[in-house]
Structure 1
Amino acid sequence: MVQEPWAELGETISAIRSALLSALEEGEGEAVRFTAGPVELEFGVEVRKDAGARAKVFVLPWTVEANGSAGVAQTHRVKLTLQPVDGRGEDLRISGDSDRRPL
């Protein structure tokens, strides 16, 4: 299996979900809690058209194919905003504790 230098959207969101769940579990029962605000993700993607009049775009897990007649490449940015919520659809609340004061 080839290891790609990029992650698909589903893998990225799963990693973020896992980190938020870990923070949620670590802070269970703590007096200080936080509401998780929007999570913003931004990705760079490249669109290429070859001289053979074919174009292919790989944007995270989606693929789009088209025909054309140019030989150019353009870089685009894709930005997503996610709002973490719990099983009831309410804002996710995260808390934690520390043995020492922050610097």
Structure 2
Amino acid sequence: MTPDPLPRIDLTQAVRVVRDQLMAAASHGAGQDLRFDVGEIQMEFAVELRHDTRVKGGVRAWVVSADVDAGRGAAHTHKVAFTLKPKNARTGGDWEIGNDGPDADTSAFGGS
């Protein structure tokens, strides 16, 4: 078996990247006259489940790209889809990009 040429990205990392980029968008939009409500975020990934003795439970989901998926065959990959609704960790309210009011602090949103 040839080694996988692409670096592995687990499902946790993929969701973290989306969260971090939403937080970056919020800080770049602070002070602007136009704000956006962040609604539901629908995410869908093709994942490959692999046994990993370093992880509690022993199984980890790795995100694979469509071209890698086609090369390995559908029998080895699974589709994972879910919806996220961002909330302000401090207030429990909806989250806005460009919010420069008292709730604009992004420090409470899921630290790494």
Same fold (TM over 0.5): yes
Structure 1 segments of 4 or more deviating over 6 A?
none
Looking at secondary structure, tell me which structure has more strand per residue.
1
Q: How many residues align?
A: 77
Bigger share in helix: 2
Q: Is the 8 A contact 2:37 2:97 kept in 1?
A: yes
**Unaligned stretches of 5+ in structure 2?**
50-58, 64-74, 100-112
Secondary structure of the structure 2 residue equivalent to 1:12? helix
Q: CA RMSD in A?
A: 3.2
Rg (Cα) greater in structure: 1
Q: TM-score, normalised by structure 1?
A: 0.58
Alignment partner of 1:34 is 2:60: no
Structure-1 residue corresponding to 2:108: none
| AA of the residue aligned to 2:97 | I
TM-score, normalised relative to structure 2: 0.54
Flag structure 1 segments of 5+ consecutive residues without an equivalent. 48-56, 62-72, 97-103
Percent identity between matched residues is 33
1:26-55 CA-to-partner distances (Å, cap 9, x unmatched) read: 1112221111111111111357xxxxxxxx
